[in-house]
Amino acid sequence: MDPALGRNTATFDGDDALQYPMGEQYAAMSDSFSVECVFRYNGEFPDSGQTNMCANKEAGGFAVAMFEDTLTFELHTGSYQNIGLEIEPNEWYHAVAVFDGPNQMARLYVNGELAAEVETVGDQMVWPPNAGAHNMTLGADSSPSGSQFHSTSTLDSARIYSQPLNAQQVAALNVEAFGELREQQAQLVETTPAENAELTRATEFQVEWDNPSLVAQGVTYLLNDEVIEPGDMIGAGLTAGEHTLTVEGKTVFGQPIQQTIAFTSGSIPETGGTETGQGEGTVTLSVRATNPDGGDVTSTFYAGQADVAEGGFQGVVEETPTTLEFDYREAGELDGAGESLSAGQGHIAFQRFDVAVDAAVAGQAVRWAGSVDPSRQVNVMVWNTATEAWDTVASGRGLTEGELVLTGELEADHINDGTASVLVTGEDPFADDLPNEAADAFEDPDDYDFAIAHLTDTQYLSEGAAENAYSPEQQAIWADVYTDALDWIVDNADERKIEYVAHTGDIMENWHTASERDDEEEYRQIAIEEFEFASEAQRILDDAEIVNGVLPGNHDNRTGNDVGPDSLYNDYFGPERYEALENNAGWREAQASYTPWRADDNENHYDLFTAGGLDFIAVHLGYDVTQEELDWASEVLDEYSDRNAMAMTHAHRRPSTEPDGRGAAFSHDRFTSRPRRAAATRQRVFGVIRSRARGGY
């Protein structure tokens, strides 16, 4: 139940979806249809790529989706076309996407009003050719193997009509969806500090709304024009007099929220820190505090008591325990302290203590200190007797020098008969724990040793360049986008130290159906034309003597069904092409070589090259990788275990809910789950580069 709507909804968390079979409905929708999608996008929009709310798209079909902050209607009537409107996250929207085939028009209505329209390429829809993708998908998009491009969204309703709805019909549906709900106002019931209150000491800032579910995420709270958040301690440093809290935001229906709370305060000192000294049997305590109005300050010192764990034990587990008692291995005793055990990849070292504490909980905290490698993260957890779960009260990364000190507050539910049960774990966070801020310019070449360029999913560019439905001028636009990118790499290779270029598949578009079609001859001819264009485009890199490698995606090898020496892909990107490149000056300078997995088959291959004074191996695995191919990759990586290794693949991971791609589930070629693990599991494999979905590196 969504409290703001007052009715049941479905919420999708970024890796789940609902699907409804659509195959039998396509005939009624081929020349006209409308899709109604009532949704709220939860959290931040994707930084790149797409996520879907209501969609049935895979090499054809339609989608109501987000491309970054743009609500988009995407459809395929001979080629993909998009129309859209920028919207805000965390707000409810009524969207209707309309395809009017007889008039060759696509329209997008948002909240009852026409937002965008475009003339379509054709007057008939092109539906997904793979029967596995014939599903209307909520919270994601369809795919031959399930769903893809998931969103973090909440859906109220989704309906499909086999006719193009007009503006009046859309307006009526908009009223039906929201009615007077949009006019609801969110009010603050209580704040700390309250209206007209006087603040005399540092206080936790708190707010209470009459209908919290009506308040959209992203509300801004200002104290005298400085941003604060609920839960912050405020007051320290305030001068005596009047102050203002300002609250600005929106409701989930887009209505503005703006409230001002006026209060007064005394002159509240701002602490400057404390110092301790000891000697000759005495301890000296001192404190610095500043009165913002310049007056005197009175400081009060309190005595404290430290209870130290007298025993404990440690061990290694495969995952963080969820119970108070749990199984573990490599057991060892601790005398309140001790050197931690080492844990390999995929395992977690822990220390377990029971600490006697005073009955009075207020102000008590648990403290852990130790020397920790900067690559490790330590979590301090306390058993909660009420929820019967481990509460993380503090965590932090290790330090290069000195001890890591972690302190977390204790609550009443953490104490059982005067004892707090403490669990400390040490684990490896992501090895690529680097800032993910988007830079507004390329990195300075002086700051790095070499660069690798990555191309992927150029399928629509190849399709557009060869699409007979387009005029020569339109075809040239598509072609130039592809070739201009490659020309840029060539023109900037020296300045930007580009030593290697990888293309991870879907080089072209129309060679993805798993079985023969009724128009097989025509379909093959279209594929040949697209392959011919892509082959000549990629030759820009060959002619520039830049070391490069390619692999086939599902659109290049009929979803794994056109493989081997006689495949269409090998006609244009076969072994002989890359074997010939080994003899040019650029490849020789990079000490580069090319080796296919079989003498006459470039479905998989590896490249050796040297860059920045380091030796590399790049293993390319085509779409629908088999166990035999994985075994080959394992043997190659074993043979060249002294080289830094990269694995290139087309469908290794699904889209991630995180901007940097972390936490993504495995996709079709989930080779880390095979009995004999290949590329991603080798010690010196420092990266997997793939395509198909957001969060690909």
Q: Given a cut of 60, is residue 488 above it in pLDDT?
A: yes
Residue from 15, 32, 111, 22 nearest 71 by CA: 111
Residue from 22, 24, 197, 181 nearest 91 by CA: 181
Q: Given a cut of 80, is residue 685 above it in pLDDT?
A: no
User: Which residues are bridge partners to 271 per DSSP?
Assistant: 289
- Asked if residues 408 and 380 have their Cβ atoms less than 8 Å apart, the reply is yes
Q: How high is the pLDDT of residue 666?
A: 56
Task: Report phi then psi at 478, rounded to 5.
Answer: -60, -45
In whole angstroms, give the CA distance from residue 557 to residue 572: 12
pLDDT-derived band at 679, boundaries 50, 70, 90 = very low
Residues found in the chain: 697
Give the mean pLDDT of 440-469. 92
Distances (CA, A) of 222 to 230, 250, 266: 11, 15, 19
Q: How high is the pLDDT of residue 323?
A: 95
Q: Where are the beta strands (DSSP E) in 197-302?
A: 198-199, 203-204, 206-209, 220-223, 226-228, 233-234, 241-250, 256-265, 270-279, 282-290
Give the mean pLDDT of 454-462. 94
User: Among 124-128, 187-191, 192-196, 458-462, which stretch is predicted with the lowest mean pLDDT?
Assistant: 187-191
Q: What is the pLDDT of residues 417-436, one digit of tens each?
A: 889 999 999 887 654 444 55
Task: Report phi then psi at 575, rounded to 5.
Answer: -60, -40
Q: To which H or E segment does residue 363 belong?
A: none
pLDDT-derived band at 667, boundaries 50, 70, 90 = low
% of the chain exceeding 70 in pLDDT:
90
- Asked if residues 76 and 469 have their Cβ atoms less than 8 Å apart, the reply is no
Tell me what the pLDDT averaged over the chain comes to: 88
% of the chain exceeding 90 in pLDDT:
62
Distances (CA, A) of 350 to 48, 105, 342, 370, 372: 38, 62, 10, 13, 13
Give the mean pLDDT of 551-564. 93
Q: What is the pLDDT of residues 71-112, one digit of tens each?
A: 999 999 999 999 999 999 999 999 999 999 999 999 999 999
Q: How high is the pLDDT of residue 376?
A: 76
3-state secondary structure of 95: strand
Q: How high is the pLDDT of residue 285?
A: 83
* 644 vs 687 pLDDT, higher one: 644
User: Among 7-21, 91-105, 420-434, 496-510, which stretch is predicted with the lowest mean pLDDT?
Assistant: 420-434
Residue from 619, 608, 612 nearest 671 by CA: 619
Helices (H), 417-519: 459-466, 472-492
pLDDT-derived band at 654, boundaries 50, 70, 90 = low
Give the mean pLDDT of 672-687. 42
Pairing status of strand 614-621 against strand 644-649 = parallel
pLDDT-derived band at 300, boundaries 50, 70, 90 = confident
Q: What is the pLDDT of residues 332-379, one digit of tens each?
A: 888 877 777 777 666 889 999 998 887 666 678 899 988 887 667 899
- Asked if residues 555 and 569 have their Cβ atoms less than 8 Å apart, the reply is no
Q: What is the pLDDT of residues 48-77, one digit of tens each?
A: 889 999 999 998 999 999 999 999 999 999
Task: Report phi then psi at 627, rounded to 5.
Answer: -65, -35
Residue from 111, 226, 103, 219 nearest 163 by CA: 103
Q: What is the pLDDT of residues 282-296, one digit of tens each?
A: 888 888 888 888 888
Q: Given a cut of 70, is residue 215 above it in pLDDT?
A: yes
pLDDT-derived band at 680, boundaries 50, 70, 90 = very low
- How many other CB atoms are there within 10 angstroms of residue 366's CB atom? 23
Give the mean pLDDT of 145-161. 95
Q: How high is the pLDDT of residue 690?
A: 59
Q: How high is the pLDDT of residue 359?
A: 67
Distance from chain centroid for Cα 16: 15
Residue from 414, 356, 411 nearest 388 by CA: 414
Give the mean pLDDT of 126-153. 93
Maximal CA-CA distance, the chain: 98
Q: Which two tokens stand for residue 319?
A: 């995952």
Residue from 418, 392, 420, 385 nearest 406 by CA: 392
Q: How high is the pLDDT of residue 653?
A: 61
Q: How high is the pLDDT of residue 437?
A: 60
Q: How high is the pLDDT of residue 651?
A: 80
Q: Is 78 left (phi over 0), alpha (psi -120 to 50) or beta?
A: left
Q: How high is the pLDDT of residue 585?
A: 95
Residue from 135, 105, 170, 174 nearest 18 by CA: 135
Scored b (16 or more CB within 10 A) or e, 180-198 reads eebeeebebeebbbeeeee
Looking up tokens 């300075």 gives: 444
Q: Given a cut of 90, is residue 118 above it in pLDDT?
A: yes
* 622 vs 371 pLDDT, higher one: 622
